[in-house]
Chains A and B, each alone.
Chain A
Amino acid sequence: MDIFIQQIINGLVLGSIYALVALGYTMVYGILGLINFAHGEVVMIGALTALTAIGLLLPAGLPGPMLVLAGLLIAIPVCMAVGFTVERIAYRPLRHAPRLAPLITAIGVSIVLQQLAMIGWGRNYHTFPALLPTAPHQFAGAAITDLQIIIVLTAAVLMAGLVWLVNRTRLGRAMRATAENPAVARLMGVDVDRVISFTFVLGSALAAVAGVMVAANYSIAHYAMGFMLGLKAFTAAVLGGIGNLGGAMLGGLLLGIIESLAAGYIGDLTGGFLGSHYKDVFAFFVLILVLVFRPSGLMGEKVAERA
Chain B
Amino acid sequence: MSATNARLKSRLGIALIAVALAVLPFVVGAGFGNSWVRIIDFALLYIMLALGLNIVVGFAGLLDLGYIAFYAVGAYLYALLSSPHLAQAFPALFAAAPGWPVWLVLPLGAGLAGLCGVLLGTPTLKLRGDYLAIVTLGFGEIIRIFLNNLNAPANITNGPQGINNIAAVHIGGHALNRPLELFGIVLPGVHLHYYFFLALTLLVIFVCVRLQDSRLGRAWVAIREDEVAARACGINTRNVKLLAFGLGATFGGVAGGLFASFQGFVSPESFGLLESIMVLCMVVLGGMGHIPGVILGAVLLALLPEALRWGAVPMQQSLFGKVLIDPESLRLLLFGVALVLVMRWRPEGLWPSALRRRELSTHAADGA
- Smallest CB separation, B220 vs chain A (Å): 13
Contact of B367 among A96, A111, A118, A277 (CB under 8 A): A96
Most interface-central of B133, B153, B339, B366 (chain A CB within 10 A): B339
B65 pairs with A287, CB closer than 8 A: no
Kindly list chain B residues whose C-beta atoms are within 8 Å of the C-beta of A102.
343
Question: B130–A103 contact, CB under 8 A?
Answer: yes
| Contact residues in B for A273 (Cβ distance below 8 Å) | 153-154
Tell me, yes or no, whether A116 is within 8 Å of chain B by CB.
yes
B143 to chain A, nearest CB (A): 10
Query: Please, which residue of chain A has its CB at the minimum distance from the CB of B340?
Result: A108
Whether B228 is near chain A, meaning CB under 8 Å from some CB there, is yes
Residues of A within 8 A of B280 (CB): 104, 107
> Which residues does chain B contribute within 8 Å of A116, judged by CB atoms?
333
With a cutoff of 8 Å between Cβ atoms, the chain A residues found around residue B325 in the complex are 119
Q: Are B339's CB and A111's CB within 8 A?
A: yes
| Residue on B nearest A234 in the bound complex, by CB | B134
Q: Is A148 an interface residue (CB 8 A)?
A: no
Asked if B340 and A119 sit within 8 Å, CB to CB, the answer is no
Contact A281 B131 (CB under 8 A): no
Query: What mask results when residues 266 to 279 of chain A are scored 1 for a CB within 8 Å of chain B, else 0?
Result: 00000011010110
In this assembly, does A100 line the interface, its C-beta being within 8 Å of a C-beta of chain B? yes
Asked whether, in the complex, the Cβ of A231 is within 8 Å of the Cβ of B137, the reply is yes
Establish whether residues A111 and B336, one from each chain, have CB atoms under 8 Å apart when the complex forms: yes
Chain B residues with CB under 8 A of A110: 336
Distance from A112 Cβ to chain B, minimum over Cβ atoms (Å)? 4
- Cα A44 to Cα B239 with chains together (Å): 39
Main DSSP-derived SS at the A contact region = helix
| A108 CB contact (under 8 Å) in B130, B139, B141, B337 | B337
Q: Is B275 an interface residue (CB 8 A)?
A: no
- Asked if A170 is at the interface (CB within 8 A of a chain B CB), the reply is no
**At the interface, yes or no: B142 with Cβ under 8 Å from chain A?**
yes
Among A89, A97, A98, A107, the most chain B Cβ lie within 10 Å of the Cβ of A107
Is A284 touching B57 in the complex (CB atoms < 8 A)? no
Q: How close is B163's CB to chain A, nearest CB, in angstroms?
A: 20
A307 touching B229, Cβ below 8 Å: yes
Q: For B128, give its contact among A93, A108, A118, A306 (CB under 8 Å).
A: A306
Distance in angstroms between the alpha carbons of A99 and B226 in the assembled complex: 11
CB proximity to B under 8 Å, residues A259-296:
272-273, 275, 277-278, 280-281, 283-284, 287-288, 291-292, 295
Within A94-130, which residues are at the interface with B (CB < 8 Å)? 94-105, 107-112, 114-116, 118-119
Q: Is the CB of A305 within 8 A of B336?
A: no
The contact string, 1 if C-beta is below 8 Å from chain B, for chain A 214-253, is 0000000000000110010011001000000000000000
Q: Say yes or no for B338: interface residue by CB 8 A criterion.
A: yes
Q: Give chain B residues whose Cβ lies under 8 Å from the Cβ of A299.
A: none
Q: Is the CB of A228 within 8 A of B336?
A: no
Q: Decide if B123 touches A291 in the complex (CB within 8 Å).
A: yes
- The interface size bin for chain B is 35 or more
A104 with B343, Cβ < 8 A, contacts A99-B129, A119-B325, A284-B142 known: yes
Q: Mark B125-155, 1 if CB is under 8 A from A, else 0.
A: 0011111011101110110011001001110
Point out the residues of chain A lying under 8 angstroms from B226, CB to CB. 307
On whether the beta carbons of B333 and A112 are closer than 8 Å, the reply is yes
Contacts of A283 in B (CB 8 A): 138
A66 at the interface (CB under 8 A from B): no
- Cross-chain contact B344 with A94 (CB below 8 angstroms): yes
Chain B residues 345-368 with CB under 8 Å of chain A are 347, 360, 363-364, 366-368
What sequence of 0s and 1s flags, for each residue 312-353 of chain B, a beta carbon within 8 Å of any chain A beta carbon?
000000000000110001001101111110011001000000
Bound: A161/B347 CA distance, A: 40
Which B residues are CB-close (under 8 A) to A107? Answer: 65, 277, 280, 336, 339
B360 pairs with A98, CB closer than 8 A: yes
Give the Cβ gap from A249 to chain B, nearest Cβ, in Å.
20
Closest Cβ of chain A to B286, distance in Å, is 13
Give the chain A neighbours of B145 by CB distance below 8 A: 277-278, 280-281
Which chain B residues lie closer than 8 Å to A234 at the CB level?
134
Q: Assuming A103-B63, A280-B145, A284-B138, is B338 touching A303 (CB within 8 A)?
A: no
Q: Are A97 and B364 in contact (CB under 8 A)?
A: yes
Q: B61 on the interface (CB 8 Å rule)?
A: yes
B227 close to A108 (CB less than 8 A): no
Q: At the interface, yes or no: A150 with Cβ under 8 Å from chain B?
A: no
- Which single member of B135, B153, B366 contacts A291 (CB below 8 Å)? B135
> Is the pair A104, B63 in contact by a Cβ cutoff of 8 Å?
yes
Q: Using Cβ atoms and an 8 Å threshold, which residues of chain A touch B277?
A: 107, 111
Q: How far is the CA of A101 from the CA of B129 in the complex (A)?
A: 12
Q: B120: nearest residue on chain A (CB-CB)?
A: A288
A267 to chain B, nearest CB (A): 11
B284 at the binding interface (Cβ < 8 Å): yes
B330, closest chain A residue (CB): A115
Q: How far is the CA of A280 from the CA of B142 in the complex (A)?
A: 8
Considering the complex, give the chain A residue whose CB is closest to the CB of B149: A277
Apart from A118-B329, A275-B152, what 13 extra A-B contacts exist at CB < 8 Å?
A89-B340, A96-B364, A97-B363, A104-B63, A108-B336, A108-B340, A109-B336, A231-B134, A231-B137, A273-B153, A273-B154, A280-B145, A307-B229
* 19 A/B residue pairs, CB under 8 Å, sorted by A: A97-B364, A100-B57, A101-B343, A102-B343, A103-B130, A105-B340, A105-B343, A107-B277, A108-B336, A114-B336, A119-B333, A227-B273, A234-B134, A275-B152, A280-B141, A281-B142, A281-B146, A292-B123, A305-B128
B contact set with A: CB distance below 8 Å: 57, 61, 63, 65, 123-124, 127-131, 133-135, 137-139, 141-142, 145-146, 149, 152-154, 226-229, 273-274, 277, 280, 284, 288, 324-325, 329, 332-333, 335-340, 343-344, 347, 360, 363-364, 366-368
